[in-house]
């Protein structure tokens, strides 16, 4: 855990989920301040981070936004944190904090529970292009 960049936020995601992969591509495209680094939940490092922060990734049907040495967020709170960190119009997502987390997570869980059916699934985690390799840990 010592080798994680301290000045970056780590986004752990389902590496075989098409919706998640599209979301990662969207975040990379809009991450103008180079804030995020990405780790598939299924990878060795993803498993190591989950164990370190005390999250059972086998039961986690979510993305995790991890700020090393500070905190981690998952489900709707991670989505809102991503929007806030992207800035600009995406920071307006924080308006959804007016809704109780339980309600936000209910909607998140509904989408997460249907993501493979609606968007499909890959056989293996995506391989980043050479230009994107630095964004993945």
CA–CA dist 89, 75 (Å, integer):
20
Rounded mean pLDDT, 105-134: 81
Spatial distance between the Cα atoms of 14 and 80, rounded to a whole number of angstroms? 18
In the predicted model, what is the mean pLDDT of the chain? Answer: 88
Residues contacting residue 116 through CB under 8 Å, at least 6 positions apart: 17
- Name the pTM for this structure: 0.87
pLDDT above 70 (res 106): yes
Higher pLDDT, 85 or 135: 85
pLDDT classification of 136: cutoffs 50, 70, 90? confident
Residue whose structure tokens are 């986690």: 60
Please give the pLDDT value at position 73.
Answer: 94
DSSP characters for 50-107? HHHHT--TTS--S-EEEETTTEEEETHHHHHHHHHHH-GGGGGGGGGGGS-HHHHHHH
pLDDT at residue 58 tops 80:
no
Residue 9: which pLDDT band, with cuts at 50, 70 and 90? very high
User: Which whole number is the average pLDDT over 75-93?
Assistant: 94
Q: Which two tokens stand for residue 23?
A: 């979301």
The confidence band for 105, taking pLDDT boundaries of 50, 70 and 90, is: very high
């Amino acid at each position: 855990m010592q080798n994680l960049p301290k000045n970056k936020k780590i986004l752990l995601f389902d590496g075989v989920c098409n919706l998640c992969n599209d979301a990662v591509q969207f975040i990379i495209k809009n991450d103008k301040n180079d804030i995020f680094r990405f780790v598939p939940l299924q990878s060795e490092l993803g498993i190591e981070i989950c164990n370190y922060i005390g999250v059972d990734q086998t039961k986690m049907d979510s993305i995790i936004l991890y700020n090393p040495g500070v905190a981690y967020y998952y489900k709707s709170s991670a989505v809102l944190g991503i929007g806030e960190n992207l800035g600009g119009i995406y920071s307006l997502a924080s308006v959804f904090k007016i809704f109780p987390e339980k309600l936000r997570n209910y909607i998140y869980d509904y989408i997460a529970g249907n993501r493979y059916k609606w968007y499909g699934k890959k056989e293996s985690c995506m391989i980043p292009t050479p230009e994107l390799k630095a964004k993945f840990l």
